[in-house]
């Protein structure tokens, strides 16, 4: 199927097909980060073509899988069919969720509460570095880091004795590039590869909304390095409800800034060092378009769709 620029679905290669066909005898794929790795190419494609609503046949052909195997793989990863996942990502649905999020956010803000983010209030405790520590670029600080499977592919987690200071994702298998990106600002710190020290956080960080109890009672502490403006934007991001969306203009308004400050908000949003925990993926353009994402637009789309479905299941169960 062609997108708006005339591009078409890229043909798959036999080597890619062999890797994608690494499934169990019943056609099901193992759960976990490997699922994301297999369908990551499809998600990148969908980020460009989802307004055209590509068919199951076209998506499965892109991976060289039968429709049956592709559907099983997709269901195993996200818990919903590709068709329903696409419905979560249409412009009409994005605009509907923006309107719904506005009403929830406005009610909370007018009452002086962080109601929409109350789960995050319990789940995340934020500490900012002091001005002196900001200038020191991590001198005297030990940062342990590890790479782990996540629902959105290979992730990098960086932690200090005072809290997590970095969470990002690996693109194209390039772990050194991910580490270099998250290490900016901490150049004088001592870095130690220690996946055992960071692994304990992973199940709690990526527990879906309908399994919130799995996160435990103790909050996960974050140690953030940023300007005062960036810290204010990141705090505002924590108040966007799970499964909800906001625009850059919404965040500017929340901070008492004029609409023209949306660009500055966008820059601060993009500088977020702790992706997912501080949900910069929930900010989109006022048109309903997804906008950009430093870890890949396909990954942002996956996060939005994953949260929408998990939040919907939680609401139905309640």
d(CA 66, CA 313): 28
Look up tokens 């949003």; give the residue.
Answer: 269
Average pLDDT over residues 11-21: 30
Q: What are the residues whose beta carbons fall under 8 Å from the beta carbon of 129, sequence distance 6 or more? A: 223, 224, 225
For residue 246, count CB atoms less than 10 angstroms from its CB and return exposed for 0-12, middle for 13-18, buried for 19 or more: buried
Q: Is 280 in the active site?
A: yes
**What local confidence, expressed as pLDDT, does residue 63 receive?**
85
* Cα 126–chain centre separation: 19
| Cα pseudo-dihedral 4, 152, 173, 238, rounded to 10 | 90
Confidence of residue 8 (pLDDT cuts 50, 70, 90): very low
pTM value is 0.76
**What local confidence, expressed as pLDDT, does residue 318 receive?**
57
Map out the domains of the chain with their CATH numbers: 14-88 (no CATH), 114-287 (1.10.10.10)
Specify whether the CB–CB gap between 188 and 203 falls below 8 A. no
Higher pLDDT, 103 or 3: 103
pLDDT at 311 over 80: no
d(CA 56, CA 258): 44
d(CA 61, CA 38): 13
Catalytic residue among 170, 179, 205, 280: 280
Confidence of residue 188 (pLDDT cuts 50, 70, 90): very high
Q: What is the largest CA-CA distance in the chain?
A: 58
């Amino acid at each position: 199927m062609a997108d708006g620029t005339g591009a078409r679905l890229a043909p798959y290669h036999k080597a890619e097909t062999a890797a994608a066909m690494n499934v169990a005898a019943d056609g099901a794929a193992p759960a976990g980060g490997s699922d994301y790795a297999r369908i990551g190419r499809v998600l990148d494609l969908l980020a460009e073509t989802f307004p055209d609503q590509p068919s199951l046949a076209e998506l499965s052909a892109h991976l060289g899988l039968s429709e049956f195997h592709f559907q099983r793989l997709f269901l195993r990863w996200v818990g919903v069919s590709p068709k329903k996942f696409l419905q979560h990502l249409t412009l009409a649905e994005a605009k509907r969720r923006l309107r719904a999020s506005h009403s929830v956010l406005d009610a909370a803000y007018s009452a002086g509460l962080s109601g929409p983010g109350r789960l995050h209030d319990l789940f995340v405790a934020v500490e900012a570095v002091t001005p002196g520590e900001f200038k020191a670029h991590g001198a005297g600080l030990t940062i342990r880091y590890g790479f782990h499977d996540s629902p959105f592919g290979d992730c990098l987690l960086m932690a200090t004795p005072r809290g997590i200071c970095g969470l990002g994702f690996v693109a194209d298998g390039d772990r050194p590039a991910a580490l270099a990106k998250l290490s900016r600002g901490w150049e004088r710190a001592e870095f130690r590869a220690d996946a055992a020290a960071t692994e304990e956080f992973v199940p709690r960080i990526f527990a879906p909304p309908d399994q919130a109890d799995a996160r435990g009672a103790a909050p996960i502490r974050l140690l953030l390095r940023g300007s005062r403006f960036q810290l204010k934007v990141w705090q505002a991001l924590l108040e966007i409800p799970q499964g909800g969306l906001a625009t850059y203009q919404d965040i500017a308004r929340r901070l008492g800034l004029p609409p023209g400050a949306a660009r500055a908000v966008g820059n601060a949003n993009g500088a977020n060092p702790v992706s997912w925990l501080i949900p910069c993926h929930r900010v989109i353009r006022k048109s309903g378009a997804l906008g950009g994402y430093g870890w890949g637009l396909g990954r942002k789309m996956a996060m939005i769709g994953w949260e929408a479905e998990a939040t919907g299941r939680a609401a139905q169960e309640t």
